[in-house]
Amino acid sequence: MRLATAANAAYTATLAVTELLGCKQCGGGGGGGGGAREELGIRIPRPLGHGPSRFIPEKEILQVGNEDAQMHTLFADSFAALGRLDNITLVMVFHPQYLESFLKTQHYLLQMDGPLPLHYRHYIGIMAAARHQCSYLVNLHVNDFLHVGGDPKWLNGLENAPQKLQNLGELNKVLAHRPWLITKEHIEQLLKAEEHSWSLAELVHAVVLLTHYHSLASFTFGCGISPEIHCDGGHTFRPPSVSNYCICDITNGNHSMEEMHVIPAGSVSITDSFCEVEALMEKMKQLQECRDEEEASQEEMASRFEIEKRESMFVFSSDDEEVAPARDVSRHFEDTSYGYKDFSRHGMHVPTFRVQDYCWEDHGYSLVNRLYPDVGQLIDEKFHIAYNLTYNTMAMHKDVDTSMLRRAIWNYIHCMFGIRYDDYDYGEINQLLDRSFKVYIKTVVCTPEKATKRMYDSFWRQFKHSEKVHVNLLLIEARMQAELLYALRAITRYMT
């Protein structure tokens, strides 16, 4: 995806216009232009918040116009692909290698040759984001849907969309909230409908889009992405107040006034959070020594998985409450009361998904690539970059092997989805991931609309924001892979 020359020119021109219009924060003009516009009676909107994230101070994020050549090319590619430089890109750019892979994959899914027409792709993105009440993504794709010629009537509610898309609603619902319940019957109903049936290739394209946008909703809420200036909740015409008060931190209803004063819960001192880092480093060292000395039996490993799976059911936030979906989002999906439930609750027994029986590398990858050429390769690259990404740092420490920690995070997410790796000792998870971190992980992965700044602040308190964004990349890719595994296994069972 190298549209470099045209993209750079367009992006640079847009930068120049932005600078001409003036300050990002107040919408005032550069070089005296603001007064002239006021005389003409033109109202200039200004961003409601400070920067692309409500959780990360703007000064910590790369400022547009200050990027190096590599970043500039990435921004230009994003601008060429999307027609904008969105806030997700501005936060993901903490990790350029991942961002490049992400943009390439998203561009292919939305705009390159594929089984589904362009307006279907954006509408499916709307359906997927709406399941998590992610108005940020819904608003972006409403604009994109209209831009590629989508029928505005579809936006009045799912019941106004073609029956073929309505039929996708059940798969969207189960995949977003309880993917372990997906069966080959779900697949059969879509492929063998008397009318409005899906082809296998179309269905794989749709499944990849659904999992992509469920996961991107997790990133959006997990990193506190602010609305774009042109979207609802992203701008105001009121002049900035003298006190520079930032209302953005309480606009989505999850953030109370006390959260704006960013001392994490419990007012933990720098010394205490420094000790947390040292304790985590020591645990990693001890676990590595135990690994070298002895290996648990298969029976013990299986037992530890079951223990961790059960314990994950009791991880929930103290401010874990239902978030009522807004009408402008809820109209894009059915059954608004359906949400995440732990897979072993209420006496249900869901068989463990053993990766040794069906895994991405040996099964899912080839199925996707066969039915939707090149996409399997792009997704696989994105998984590997997120999983293996490291700068060998932990907070203030350098030259650290973080592979044990990254694997614990990835496998904990898959454990919450009932997915087990026979060769992993799940006893390590409780050693490496403390309760506040588990609360954050489970919330962002399973019920992202409930994520708050308090949760973001309360884990890994001495770590850099770039490291917390890296955590979010692990969360969204592990989640996407888990959803894909269940959906693709069901498709494989249907085919055989």
DSSP string covering 263-310? PPTT---HHHHHHHHHHHHHHHHHHHHHHHH----HHHHHHHHHHHHH
- Domains and their CATH numbers in the chain: 73-229 (1.20.1290.10), 274-318+344-495 (no CATH)
The better pLDDT of the pair 242, 371 is held by 371
pLDDT at residue 29 greater than cutoff 90: no
Lowest mean pLDDT among 28-37, 189-198, 217-226, 374-383: 28-37
The Cα–Cα gap between 190 and 176 comes to: 17
Lowest mean pLDDT among 169-173, 293-297, 413-417, 424-428: 293-297
Residues 306-348 have pLDDT tens digits of 777 777 766 776 555 555 555 577 676 676 778 778 766 655 5
Active site residues per annotation: 134
The Cα–Cα gap between 334 and 496 comes to: 31
How many residues in total does the chain contain? 496
The Cα–Cα gap between 420 and 260 comes to: 39
Lowest mean pLDDT among 107-111, 324-328, 368-372, 396-400: 324-328
Does the predicted model carry a pTM greater than 0.85?
no
For 127, the token pair is: 């359906």
pLDDT at residue 214 greater than cutoff 90: yes
Residues 420-460 have pLDDT tens digits of 999 999 999 999 999 999 999 999 999 999 999 999 999 99
Q: What angle do CA 42, 47, 49 make, to 5 degrees?
A: 155
Q: Which residues of 132-146 are buried (b: 16+ CB within 10 A; e: fewer)?
A: bbbbbbbbbbbebbe
Name the residue with tokens 């209209």.
146
pLDDT at residue 197 greater than cutoff 60: yes
pLDDT at residue 5 greater than cutoff 70: no
Interval 175-203 mean pLDDT: 94
